[in-house]
Structure 1
Amino acid sequence: MKAFVIEQAGAPDVLKLQDISSPEPTSEEVKIRVRALGLNRAETYLRAGKMGPITAPRVPGIEAVGEVIHDPSGTFRTGQRVATAMGGMQFVRNGSYAEEVTVLRSNVISLDGSKLSWEELAALPEAYLTVWGALDKSLGIQPGQTLLVRGATSSIGLAAITYAKARGLKVIATTRSADKVQRLRDMGADEVVIDNGAIAEQVLKLAPQGVDGVLEVVGAATVLDSLKAVRPFGAVSVMGLLGGGPVLEQLNLMQDLPAAVKLNFFGSALLGTPAMALKDSPLLWIAKEVEAGRMPSIRAKTFDFDQIPQAHRLIESNEAFGKLVVKI
């Protein structure tokens, strides 16, 4: 099979299309024919050496959609439409930048019943499963609540807006660019705040009692300000690092953490573990909502398989507004 392989860290040109063997699935795995895949910053970080040295050939990619080739357990049938995400892809096993991928069965989700195109399906797994974890599991969202999405123009931020609105929440979204305000409203944001790094006062004008929850995609650079916009017993879930490294130089538990406000970091490595069984995920429901037009698509652009290096350049330019996908 053909796959993009990294043999040394570097610029997008280190991604080389090669012929490699396709491993057969063990009793705990499923082999999938990849029809399309979503692209993520985690893959650019791996390629650039920001996730440790490249000491052996690596196939990047942490998500894919396609058809089952073989499941030794018979849980998934041959030809069944499925999605997969995480489960050690690109780290301890080959990733999804390939014509075939062998993954943990616990990280496979049936897409039976969805007629959505492969490229639209490819925009869903990593973004929406992560949003599901942060919003439902970490923040415990409920209809009628108010959610602040900080860093809303990222693909994960756009997914959070569309998912929260479909779940009946009011959404306040942030962007640093006035040019993107209307797009965020089109995606479902009820209010949009231009983010200058200190927006808590503006948010409290829109939600005087404080928001119920914050999805913090910018990260350490803005999390202390986000905490100030939350009501007592509300919460902030950090799930992105767009603003830089994950380290706070100083956190005063009495002054910086408002009374009874919860703070956590949600990592998508939990997906498919006993703590977050993917059989319970809403991914198929989301696919059907997008197919019916009740949720807007977050897909921004589709690339051919051999264009993955160009796609990496677009991600690193920070000019992509939405999810980039690859169709094989």
Structure 2
Amino acid sequence: MKAYVIDESGPPEVLQLREVADPVPREGEVSVRVCAFGINRLEADIRAGAYGPITASTVLGIEAVGEVIEDASGTFQPGQRVATAMGGMGTEHSGSYAEQVVARRENVVALGDTDLPWEELAALPEAFLTVWGALVPAMKLQSGQRLLVRGATASVGQAAIVLAKQMGAQVMATTRREAQRERLLSLGADAVLVDNGAVAAQVREHWPKGADAVLEVVGASTVRDSLHAVRSFGEVVVVGLLGGRVIEQLDLLADLPEAVGLRFFKTQMLGTSALPLTDAPLAGLAELRAKDAIPSTLAHTFDFNDLAKAHALMESNQAVGKIVVRMPGAPQ
């Protein structure tokens, strides 16, 4: 099969398309023909060397959508449309920047009979599974509650707006760029704030008691302010580190307001016994998207041959939404 391999860290051009052996599923794994996959900041950071030097040939990619090739357990059938994310894919073993990938069965989700195009399906797994894990089991967001999404122009932030509105929450979103206001409103945000790093006072102008909860996508540079935007006994859940690592820059005694919770949600939990994906809403979201009942978070689609360009766009911070790569010859 063809796959993108990196032998060393560096710019997007270190991604080299090569012929490699087809991956062989082990016990507990499902083999999937990749039809499309999303690009994630983690992959760009690994490629660039932010997580240390590359010591062996590596195939990146932590998510994909496609069709099942083989599942020895019979849980998934050949040809079935599925999504997969995390479970060590692209970090502990070969990832989805390839024509085929193997994934832990617990990290594979059936997508139903939707006819949504592959590129639209590929915008769902990592972003929406992350947001589902943060908003539902971690935050326990309820209909009618007030949610602040800090860093809403990121793909995870956009997914948070869509899912939270689907759950019946009130959503306030932040962006650093005034030009993105209309985009966030079109996704369903009830209000948008231009973020200069200190928005807690503006939040309380809209919601005098503060937000019930904050989904923090940015990280260290804004988390102190987010903690002061939430009501007493409210909670801030951190899912992103775009602005740096939080704990290294936070004094919990001095910076954490009384009776405000701070929680971190790591996507490595997805598919574990603590967070099984049996209740993950991907199939339902795909069906809603196919009916145009929820807006799309897809921003850019690249051909497989243009993967380096997709990475360059990710690094430029100019994409507003999900960057997706579609495989040549993917079935309709």
Bin of the TM-score, shorter chain as denominator length: over 0.9
Matches within 5 A, 1:91-130: 91-130=91-130
**Matching residue's letter, 1:287:** A
Q: Is contact 2:4–2:17 with CA below 8 Å preserved after alignment?
A: yes
1:301 aligns with 2:316: no
Per mean C-alpha deviation after superposition, the further-off stretch among 285-294 and 54-63 is: 285-294
What secondary structure is seen at the aligned counterpart in 2 of 1:276? coil
Corresponding letter in the other structure for 2:258: A
RMSD: 0.9
Matches within 5 A, 1:10-49: 10-49=10-49
**Offset at residue 242 of structure 1 (A):** 1.2
1:77 has 2:88 as partner: no
TM-score relative to the length of structure 1? 0.98
Tell me the amino acid that sits aligned with residue 64 of structure 1: A
What pairs with 1:102-251 in structure 2 (closer than 5 Å)? 102-251=102-251
Give the gaps of 5 or more residues in structure 1: none
Would you say the 8 A contact 1:26–1:72 is kept in 2? no
Question: What is the Cα deviation at residue 78 of structure 1?
Answer: 0.6
Shift of residue 112, structure 1, vs aligned partner: 1.6
Aligned to 2:282: 283
| Paired residue type of 1:103 | A
Q: What amino acid does structure 1 have at the position aligned with 2:266?
A: G
CA apart distance, 1:248: 3.6
Q: Secondary structure at the match of 1:274?
A: coil
Contact kept in structure 1, 2:23 and 2:100, CA below 8 Å: no
Q: 2 CA distance for matches of 1:189 and 1:112? A: 28
SS of alignment partner, residue 245 of structure 2: coil
Per the normalisation by structure 2, the TM-score is: 0.97
Cα distance between partner residues in 1 of 2:250 and 2:181: 33
Provide the rounded CA distance (Å) in 2 between the counterparts of 1:118 and 1:252. 44
Aligned to 2:4: 4
How many Å separate the matches in 2 of 1:163 and 1:23?
A: 34
Q: For 1:283 and 1:10, how far apart are their aligned partners in 2?
A: 34
1:326 alignment counterpart: 325
Correspondence for 1:55? 55
Write out per-residue CA displacement over residues 285-321 of structure 1, whole angstroms, 9 at most, x where no aligned residue. Answer: 1111111111100000110001010010001001001
Question: How many angstroms does 1:250 deviate by?
Answer: 4.1
* CA pair 278-250 structure 1, distance change in 2 beyond 3 A: closer
Shift of 1:245: 3.4
Structure 2 unmatched runs, 5+: 328-332
**SS, match of residue 222 in structure 1:** helix
How many residues align? The count is 327
- Residue equivalent to 2:330: none
Secondary structure in structure 2 of the residue aligned to 1:202: helix
